[in-house]
Amino acid sequence: MSLHTPSAAIAIDRPAEPGPVVVSVSHAGRIYPPAILAAARVDRSVLERLEDGWCDLIAAHAVKAGATLVQAMWARAVADCNRGEGQMAPGEVAPPLRPRFSAPGRKERAGLGVVPTRLADCGSLWRRPIDGPQFDWRLDALHRPFHRALAAELAVAKTRFGRATLIDLHSMPPIPRGQPGHGAGIVVGDRFGGTADEALIELIVDEAEGLGVPVSRNQPYAGGHIVRTHGKPADAIRAVQIEIDRSLYLHADRTPDPERVAALRDWFSGLVERAGRICPAGDVLPLAAE
């Protein structure tokens, strides 16, 4: 595996007049560095199944609504920015690397740690176990720059407005029958109240219900490493994860449906604008002097 950085892994798009909202899109990257494709034992089409397919299109007008947009341009197969650096099952890496990890959770044991290593129906994704240099390169090239960028943009917003709001946008497959949240088209996650205040959550839930689709809160997705790391309500930095069912905007072949994408894009930009007007205490800033 040739450990070099062939192209920019992170994109930051700032509006001319920034507001207090930062939008993160961490799983929709579609750039596969040559080293990643060379190391894979599966076709690229299999690695693409890890993506939050095309959900970046939903965030396409967020900057026009005043948000700063931070995107991972490299694919999730490189590193999963919504997992912590220690979220890895020891059995999924080369033996010398195993002492760095302990107590893996269900997703890590399934091969969905900070470096994805397996998918259920195709076995290992990589020709060889992930070793120390490969692991550190993936973190240095994508994971760490992404989180530094998010932290920096939130700090700028906090300094300028006295508050900052992070909206972490993802997509999901339909929630299976029998699983908590089954039937929901949108899942709003705030770590069970740990990363955002009720005023913001109520706004997002109300806006989501306005789409006419069922909405779930924290079931089955309560929010991952991104909102857990950057959400600090006591410091006026709120963070919410939004998961959108891909069937709401993709065709059966996983290509975007332009009309439905446009509807969700407009909805999301409106949500971003309204979220920027809510202060941590729940007060809403006026659009103009009355």
Neighbour-count burial for 227-251, b at 16+ CB within 10 Å, e otherwise: bbbbbebeebbbbbbbbbbbebbbe
DSSP structure class, residue 218: S
Q: Return d(Cα 239, Cα 236) in angstroms, integer.
A: 10
Cβ-contact 119, 47 below 8 angstroms? no
Q: What angle do CA 114, 117, 120 make, to 5 degrees?
A: 120
| 221 within domain boundaries | yes
| 202 within domain boundaries | yes
232: three-class secondary structure by DSSP: strand
159: three-class secondary structure by DSSP: helix
| 173 within domain boundaries | yes
| 257 within domain boundaries | yes
290: confidence class by pLDDT, cuts 50, 70, 90: very low
| 96 within domain boundaries | no
Q: Return d(Cα 168, Cα 181) in angstroms, integer.
A: 19
For residue range 225-237, list pLDDT tens digits in order.
999 999 999 999 9
120: confidence class by pLDDT, cuts 50, 70, 90: confident
The mean-pLDDT minimum among 5-9, 250-254, 271-275, 285-289 falls in 285-289
CATH code for the domain of 234: 3.40.630.40
**Higher-confidence residue: 3 or 122?**
122
Backbone angles phi, psi at 239, to 5 degrees: -140, 135
Residue 234: what pLDDT? 95
Domain tally for the chain? Answer: 1
| 5 within domain boundaries | no
Mean per-residue pLDDT, 134-151: 97
| 2 within domain boundaries | no
Position 286 pLDDT exceeds 70? no
Residue 33: domain span:
10-84+129-275
Position 115 pLDDT exceeds 70? yes
| 170 within domain boundaries | yes
Q: How many CA within 13 A on the CB side of residue 241?
A: 31
Q: Return d(Cα 241, Cα 225) in angstroms, integer.
A: 10
